[in-house]
Amino acid sequence: MNGLISQPSVDRPHSIADWGLTRYADAYSWQLQLVKKRCDGEIPDTLVYTEHHPVITIGARIGASKHLLWNQQTLNSRGIELEKSNRGGDITYHGPGQLVGYPIISLNKRVKDLHRYLRDLEQVVINSLGELGLDATRREGKTGIWLKHRKIAAIGVAVKHWITYHGFAININNCLDPFEGIIPCGIKDATVTSMKNELGIEIDINEVKNSVGVEFWKQFGND
């Protein structure tokens, strides 16, 4: 459990943990452990950062599995795992160079409204990308973060006892080729992009982490 409880402390108002590169299944298990600890009051609100080994995840939306275009043989040949997830949303890809954020925060003293939480989480990413030179926006009727019709970040969340888990994934330096094996988020009239693709340079992922952390606690740092 690399970094699982290394930073969070109940004596702090909130914490950030960085798990480095993880398998999706491991990170999911660790999230559930943190959710229980948050529910029991053993840790404060915590934002987890990670990058995943290549994996396609299928969310809880009905029909999401139909948006997988590659068969198991192709996935195996490309070294991509396939995982079903209980997060909201459709199908997406995670891989190295993509920043994944898992907020483990309590909504019990906030507005218990999952849609409001999604919009607030989107705003965190929009603000962070804006600080880093990208004019990102929402797209009406679609969850996630966009540069016109190019999707740069995906969001899919879940709650248990009003403790949040799962979260967001921002394409930074990751290879975009694996998105060809899916219809990302089930949206056919869009493409996928990354910060590197848009800005034309390799991005310092730590700079993105710092920006996201600042914006996240601006939004969620007070009950």
- Please provide residue 174's backbone torsions phi and psi, each rounded to the nearest 5 degrees: -70, 150
Q: Where does residue 79 rank: exposed (0-12), middle (13-18), buried (19+ CB within 10 A)?
A: exposed
- Which DSSP category does 96 fall into? T
CA 61-66-72 angle, to 5 degrees, is 120
Share of the chain above pLDDT 70, in %: 92
What does the domain layout of the chain look like in residue ranges?
A: 14-220
- Please provide residue 113's backbone torsions phi and psi, each rounded to the nearest 5 degrees: -140, 110
The two tokens of residue 166 are 């799962």
CATH number for the domain whose boundaries are 14-220: 3.30.930.10
Which residues are designated catalytic?
185
* Residue 212, SS3 per DSSP: helix
% helix, strand, coil for the chain, step of 5:
35, 30, 35
How far apart CA 199 and CA 119 sit, in angstroms, is 25
Q: 9: pLDDT confidence band, cut at 50, 70 and 90?
A: very low
Q: What is the pLDDT of residues 152-202, one digit of tens each?
A: 999 999 999 999 999 999 999 999 999 999 988 667 777 999 999 999 999
Looking at per-residue pLDDT, the higher value among 7 and 93 belongs to 93
- Label the pairing between strands 45-52 and 14-22: parallel
Question: What is 111-124 written as a DSSP string?
Answer: ---HHHHHHHHHHH
Mean of pLDDT values over 2-19:
64
Q: 222: pLDDT confidence band, cut at 50, 70 and 90?
A: low
Q: How many residues does the chain have?
A: 223
Taking alpha carbons only, the member of 76, 98, 95, 60 closest to residue 186 is 60
pTM for this predicted structure:
0.92
